[in-house]
Amino acid sequence: MNPPKRLCSTENAEAPTGGQEEESRVSIVMPMYNASCWLDECLQAILHQDFTGIMELSVFDDASTDDSRTVVEGWRERLEARGISVLISGHNSAQPRGVGYAKNKAVSQSCGQYLCFQDADDVMCPQRVRLQYEASALHPNSLIGCKVRRLPEGSTERYTRWINTITQDQLITQVYTSHGPTVVMPTWFCSRHWYLKVGPFDEGGKGVPEDLLFFYQSLRQGGGVARVDRCLLVYRYHEKATTHSVTEETIWKLRVDFLQERVLNQWESCTIWNAGKQGRKLYRSLSPTNQKKVKAFCDVDENKIQKGFYTYEESKQRPKPKIPVLHYKDASAPFIICVKLDMTEGVLEGNLSSLQLKEGTDYYHFN
């Protein structure tokens, strides 16, 4: 077995130098909080990676109250015998500092030129590091994801289907939907250079969507998004997941702001596709300038269409704005689609297709 090669000291962690071997070093970045029951399966999978470059595992324990750190220490000898050096640190404060803080700490103590983010409750497939490293080397200014298998099977079925089936173009055009990042955080792989340019992660703690904030910032910096079209991660769903601590309203506001910044501020006018609750909520959430750009709502519901218009009752304007409600065939592009994807048995998708519209030019999905 190969002895572990220590990548570098933490003092020069941000800028290691060297030849080709140096450049192929990968740090597996693992924040950890009370993950004891999943760690054996997670670490076994790291041990069985088929990547032939140099790897290290960098773990930061965010004040676990179980025996998580002891479990990782118990794997040190096996991992190091495989040539994977192990870094473990953490803190013992009364409360965890949050996922963003733990990720930043795990990155800062690591030294690889590439970062493979791994949640302690997930399981990577044997090819993950190798295939994502190859993709990241070709796209050093991108976040690289992969397809996933959800566990338990059938949980979050629509979300999982979306993760695995959106196209390369949709990785960019569908960044405004309620699903969040188009490559999901537990699958992220990127160059250290890109993390340092975009990051660090927000350290606001519980209730802060640090992954969405980082994802949007990466796009603002001109970063790409790519996916290895292989299932490389078993992505576990459970009630203890930190995702559940983020409110829908927090996510909504971030999405609306990003949609305005990237799309609506550049458009002269638009139509909101959905005259119902979600469409009206989007309209009310827009800035006054962008509200004026909404020339109509459109729908397929005859009851909504027959009403003729939507009155913005909460407006301070006089007279109060009245926005026409049209049948979608009578409305004009560009559209913001506020109808949930994969929920209408193909009707929405068929209607969009019938108008021969191009996603990312003539319309964007918001729900």
Q: What is the pLDDT of residues 235-291, one digit of tens each?
A: 999 776 655 578 999 999 999 999 999 999 999 999 999 999 999 999 999 999 999
- Cβ count within 10 A of residue 314: 7
Number of H helices, E strands in the chain: 14, 14
Which of 84, 62, 87, 56 is CA-nearest to residue 73?
A: 87
More confident residue, 92 or 4: 92
pLDDT of residue 22: 59
Distance CA 367, CA 263 (A): 15
Which own/partner pairs from 241-246 qualify as long-range (CB within 8 Å, at least 24 positions apart)? Answer: 241/121, 242/99, 242/206, 245/206, 245/207, 246/207, 246/208, 246/209
Q: Domains (ranges, CATH) in the chain?
A: 25-246 (3.90.550.10), 249-365 (3.40.50)
Q: Which of 1 and 11 is assigned the larger pLDDT?
A: 1
pLDDT of res. 18: 47
* Largest Cα span, the chain: 78
Record the pTM: 0.92
In 3D space, the residue among 246, 292, 288, 284 whose CA is nearest the CA of residue 268 turns out to be: 292
CA 41 to mean position of chain CA atoms:
24
Q: Which residues of 230-253 are buried (b: 16+ CB within 10 A; e: fewer)?
A: eebbbbbbeeeebeeebeeeeeee
CB atoms within 10 A of CB 168: 12
Tokens 């397929």, located at residue: 300
Spatial separation of the C-alpha atoms in residues 178 and 254, rounded to whole Å = 10
Residue 172 DSSP one-character state: H
For 316-355, write each residue's pLDDT tens digit: 888 999 999 999 999 999 999 999 887 788 899 899 999 9
Burial of 207 (0-12, 13-18, 19+ CB in 10 A): exposed
pLDDT for residue 8: 55
What is the C-alpha to C-alpha distance for residues 192 and 133, in angstroms, rounded to an integer?
12
